[in-house]
Amino acid sequence: MYNLVIGVIAGIILGVLSVAGVWYGGAVYERARLRSELVAVVGQQQQIAAALDLYETDGGRVSSLGDDSAVLGGLVESGFLKSVPPGTWRVRRGGEQIWNPLSIQTLEACAGVNGLVGLPEVCPPCDSETLSRYPACELEEGDV
């Protein structure tokens, strides 16, 4: 009987600790997920920017490649980029703007990503000025 009572008490304690871990740890795990996604995108963005710099150093004109997939395809064909990083990449104004719309599902997550880099925790609409400062922004309906 004593073992049964101890087993029930241990089960209750384990259940309470599990619920507390999910309740309090959920925000921590979500923030870690957002941070890892941001770090991956920034690394890929730097890889594309370096390939664009090498292309120009080799005598090419980035503006002659076009925008978005044409730029990335040109970098792959010319050998400056091994493969296009995953995601839907945008390249504008001769490589001055390079971004990948993050797969953030809520406005709170968007604001959280901006907070990770030390910006105000807001989710501004995506426009040319916003894209130069904020890693995450709210796309218009239908934009990808």
For residue 28, pLDDT over 70 is answered with yes
Provide the percentage of residues in the chain whose pLDDT is more than 90.
3
Average per-residue pLDDT for the chain: 79
The answer to whether the predicted template modeling score (pTM) of the entire model surpasses 0.75 is no
pLDDT in the model for residue 48 = 86
Per-domain residue ranges of the chain? 29-131
Average pLDDT over residues 108-130: 79
pLDDT in the model for residue 130 = 65
For residues 110 and 6, which has the higher predicted lDDT (pLDDT)? 6
- Per the listing, tokens 């990335």 go with 72
pLDDT in the model for residue 13 = 93
> pLDDT tens across 46-86, in order?
888 888 888 888 887 777 777 777 888 888 888 888 988 88
Nearest to 52 by CA among 29, 74, 34, 28: 74
Nearest to 100 by CA among 85, 119, 114: 85
pLDDT in the model for residue 14 = 92
SS3 annotation, 15-41: HHHHHHHHHHHHHHHHHHHHHHHHHHH
Q: 132 pLDDT band (50/70/90 cuts)?
A: low
